[in-house]
Structure 1
Amino acid sequence: MEQRGTALVTGGSRRIGAAIARDLAAHGFAVAVHYNSSPGDAEALAEAIRSQGGQAAAIGADLEDAGAAAGLVAKAEAALGPVTLAVNNASVFQDDCVTDFDLDQFERHFAVHLKAPSLIARAMGERLPDGAEGLIVNMIDQRVLSLTPRFYSYTLSKSALWTATRTMAQALAPRIRVNAIGPGPTLPNERQSQADFDRQVDGLILKRGPALEEFGATIRWMWETPSVTGQIVALDGGQHLAWETPDVAGIAE
């Protein structure tokens, strides 16, 4: 199998992040599985990848800490070699509104969704070996394409990351390309029952959300398509096109 360098996946120990890590490991990347508060999950995933013949390491860092975020690429490089692919997947998802947002929560969203990816991009630009090319994929959200008044801090910070994706793509070209994925309903979240999630998916124009394996496949397509930069792919079952959004339909999300 062709070795493609090291992929750093933030928030890589669970849910979508874990699916991405498994997929990239199965397709030739050494994978740095970043975690904040779940070292056991990250270590178990890294061990599972190694047991199947892949290369992986669990890398801890609090992305709200600017110093820790700035040093994450170097930690991944020390464990597995130069980072050629960074997936900024770590996320905070709290419901609020402009009328009631909490300042600490607001700042946490921006630290994880904007400051940390910016520091990771800067470090990758500084450390990418001569002659190598790289890719950054920012996991955003389809809601930046279809705004609602809910999840105010989350939406603003993810919208800022979408802007950063395009400006990073300009600044880091031609050696590093930068793209984004906008997920729609993929797995139930902590506020949803299974029935809530099923109603949300049924409200999509395609009547289905993305399968977990679609995320790794899309990242690999971005890796293998060197003319693509500054783009977002909405893996959302058409949610960003929908007119009956969850807030209007009264569906928990």
Structure 2
Amino acid sequence: MQNSIPKVALVTGSAKRLGRAIAEDLAAHGFAVALHANGSLEAAEAVAAGLRSEGKKAIALKADLGNISETASLIARTEAEFGTVGLLVNNASVFEDDTAVDFDAEIFARHFDVHVRAPAILSGALVKALPEDRSGLIVNIIDQRVLSLKPSFFSYTLSKSTMWTATRTLAQAFAPRVRVNAIGPGPTLISERQRPEDFQAQIDSLPLKRGPSLDEFGRTIRFLFDTPSITGQMIALDGGQHLIWNGTEINE
């Protein structure tokens, strides 16, 4: 059923950075793409308009992933424009600093809303809407740290680890028609809280002395799309970061 996956994609959190790169790559390879955003809707609309000006199929959709009804509407809204969604990329992310000692219920809830509840809602909606003669692919953008746990960024780490568990559980639940896989990024783009020298130190600490380039993510998703025997797996695009054994944490 591999060739029956519709080339219609919904990419959450795709106005900027990694999500934008994924959406642009998919659009360049024949996918109709819905770019989801919330606070960055204007940026997502600009990206979608740019893709349309190049003859590609793209729209921008606004939804607060902390709102259940708004989240649940995204698959149907994408289908209203492009038809059956065959590819869901759960890329939207929250990255707030907290600790296990100073527990903050609001930070905890925000992370689990975006990293766990929203992907579960969207994944179920994709499967329910999928015609019997079509198959699908879900790709969750997680983090390599789930393979090498550290206690920093407590809610982020815990929710991403739950997302990794959900990837395997959903792969079991949705087989054989829908495959569920994940990508675990390492240091790719400098974060707002990093100094350039800290980001470079992080890169220098990697076994491969380089992190992933943005184009690797779209290529990896397309590899998963074209490889029908893979489900329940996570590919770490991290320069080998998950192999580091000394527990050193570079400033993020």
TM class by shorter-chain length? over 0.9
Sequence identity percentage: 60
* Number of the residue aligned with 2:145: 143
Partner residue in 2 for 1:39: 41
Tell me which stretches of 4 or more aligned residues in structure 1 moved more than 4 Å.
none
CA contact (8 A) 2:15 2:47 kept: yes
AA matched with 1:177 = R
Instruction: State the alpha-carbon separation in 1 of the partners of residues 214 and 238 from structure 2.
Output: 12
The equivalent residue for 1:20 is: 22
2:86 is aligned to 84
Assess, with a 3 A threshold, how the Cα gap between structure 1 residues 10 and 246 changes in structure 2: closer, same or farther. Answer: farther
Give 1:25 shift.
Answer: 0.3
What's the Cα RMSD here? 1.1
- Give the distance between the partners of 2:138 and 2:89, measured in 1 at CA: 6
- The residue aligned with 2:192 is 190
1:154-213 CA distance string (max 9 Å, x none): 011011010000010011111110000000000011110111111111110100000000
User: For residues 1-253 of structure 1, what are the structure 2 equivalents within 5 Å?
Assistant: 4-247=6-249, 251-253=250-252
Question: How far apart in 2 are the matches of 1:71 and 1:153?
Answer: 26
- 8 Å Cα contact 1:203/1:244 also seen in 2: no
Q: Give, in angstroms, the shift of residue 47 of structure 1.
A: 0.9
TM-score of the two chains, using structure 2 as the length reference: 0.96
Deviation digits for residues 59-99 of structure 1 (CA, Å, limit 9, x no counterpart): 11000111111111111111222110000000001111100
- For the 8 Å contact 1:200–1:246, the answer to whether it is kept is no
TM-score by length of 1: 0.96
SS at match of 2:167: helix
Aligned residues: 248
8 Å CA contact retained: 1:57, 1:80: no
User: Which letter maps to 2:52?
Assistant: R
Q: Name stretches of at least 5 consecutive residues in structure 2 with no aligned partner.
A: none
Give the AA of the match of 1:18.
R
2:67 and 2:81 mapped to 1: Cα distance? 21
Structure 1: stretches of 5+ with no match in the other structure: none
How many angstroms apart in 1 are the aligned matches of 2:226 and 2:144?
A: 23
Asked if structure 1 preserves the Cα contact closer than 8 Å seen for 2:140 and 2:183, the reply is yes
